[in-house]
Amino acid sequence: MKIHEFQAKRIFRDNGVAVLENRVASTPQEAADAFHQLGGSFAVVKAQIHAGGRGKGTIVGNPAQRGVQLVRSADEAAAVAQALLGNKLVTIQTGPAGQTVNRVLVEAGCDIGRELYLGAVLDRAAAMPVLMVSSEGGVEIEKVAEESPEKIFKEHFHPQIGLHSFQVRKLCQKLGIKGDSVRSAERFMKTLCSVFTKYDASLVEINPLVVTKAGQLVALDAKMTFDDNALFRHKDVQEFRDLAEEEPAEVRASNAGLSYVKLEGNIGCLVNGAGLAMSTMDIIKLHGGQPANFLDVGGGANAQQVTEAFRILLSDANVKGVLVNIFGGIMRCTTIAQALLEAYRTVGFNVPLVVRLEGTEVEQGRKLLAESGVNIITAEGLTDAAKKVVAAVAAAG
């Protein structure tokens, strides 16, 4: 799960990770008030959307307006908020349609000495979380990793033990952090690692992390994502979920216990199992088609869930054909067949439907479909299924 910058900063502040004074505003007036309250000679207005790259992102229909802007008066804060709020911001991560800005963060300015990068993630190969720092702050870290990996320094930390002091000293040496700043860095980095563990984060990223002219470390940006599997023990984090930032069909699917990801193509897929669902997308593409989605109904889905899955697929206007690919294990082919017929009765199929069934109760499942009289194209095996759905979509124009 993703959260907004202002929410991540709230977590930071509550746990003692240094952030600047800030206010959240959802109207230009609130932005102006925030500027006054902060009381500085300048402030920064930042669009709050889940995607990264906001500083370089631009507003649809107003390419001069960036997602992050320095302001020097309350009037200017209000004007920038006006230009951002309710409009769509396009960044390298949003796709061309952009994401609507519903809030801005108005934040106090600071005297920047240096900009660094800091991130904590799980290192899968080491089966341990790792803290990564780089002297190349404020730029895309993927680019740094690609072009100059020697500028990224890493220290693993055990979730129950945390980061050791000597590890901070090693990192400070690499980053050229000296004197009193080392003490600030120790507090900052150790606390950040404990926040990672405490909230079951899958990513904590601060880019840039600033060393002020006074030598203090401050998180100028904040990004946190969380392990969905651990949300059950973090009610406070669950409340940060912003459904407006998520694809409506994906929200609907997750409410039904389905795993769904919307894609750009026109062939809807309904599959059991994540690996098989990915492979089904792959084989469609291999035969010249474009998958409209990833949809895993899971191992133990019941008829209602599968019916809901059909509804979600068919409500996507881009979908010109559907491929159902089931290898029944726990999932019985009869369950799928019944759900399919139920979906036909309740929503109707206005696009061609190709069904490939294999595994548990396959004969009964096929029989149910054959006897129903519903117009279904049946397929034997993966290749046959993919070819048939691609052909059917092409024929439908």
* Using rule CB under 8 A, residue 327 touches other proteins: yes
| Per-residue interface string for the shown chain with other proteins, residues 86-125, x marking contact by CB under 8 A | -------x----------------------------x-xx
Could you tell me which of 131, 133, 106 has the C-alpha nearest to residue 117? 133
Angle, helix 180-198 to helix 5-15, in steps of 10 degrees: 110
State how beta strands 267-271 and 223-226 pair.
Answer: unpaired
* Using rule CB under 8 A, residue 328 touches other proteins: yes
CA distance 313 to 294: 10
Q: Is 5 a catalytic residue?
A: no
- In SS3 terms, 157-180 reads as CECCCECCHHHHHHHHHHHCCCCH
Residue from 26, 87, 102, 259 in contact with other proteins (CB under 8 A)? 259
Catalytic residue among 5, 117, 155, 260: 117
| Per-residue interface string for the shown chain with other proteins, residues 350-369, x marking contact by CB under 8 A | --------xxx---------
Footprint (CB under 8 A) of other proteins, residues 203-232? 227-230, 232
Instruction: Name the segment binding other proteins (CB under 8 A); options: 78-86, 107-115, 281-289, 313-321.
Output: 281-289
Alpha-carbon distances, residue 139 vs 142, 221, 387 (angstroms) = 9, 12, 44
Could you tell me which of 236, 8, 225 has the C-alpha nearest to residue 120? 225
Instruction: Name the segment binding other proteins (CB under 8 A); options: 169-177, 213-221, 303-311, 380-388.
Output: 380-388
* Using rule CB under 8 A, residue 285 touches other proteins: yes
Q: Is 205 a catalytic residue?
A: yes
* Using rule CB under 8 A, residue 330 touches other proteins: yes
- Tokens linked to 107: 């934040």
Angle, helix 274-286 to helix 381-396, in steps of 10 degrees: 60
Q: Report which secondary-structure segment, H or E, holds 333.
A: helix 333-346
Smallest separation (angstroms) from other proteins to the CB of 259: 4
Residues at the contact surface with other proteins, assessed by CB under 8 A? 93, 122, 124-125, 127-129, 141-142, 145-146, 158-160, 197, 200, 202, 227-230, 232-233, 259, 261, 263, 271-286, 291, 294, 296, 299-300, 327-330, 358-360, 381-383
Catalytic site residues?
Answer: 117, 205
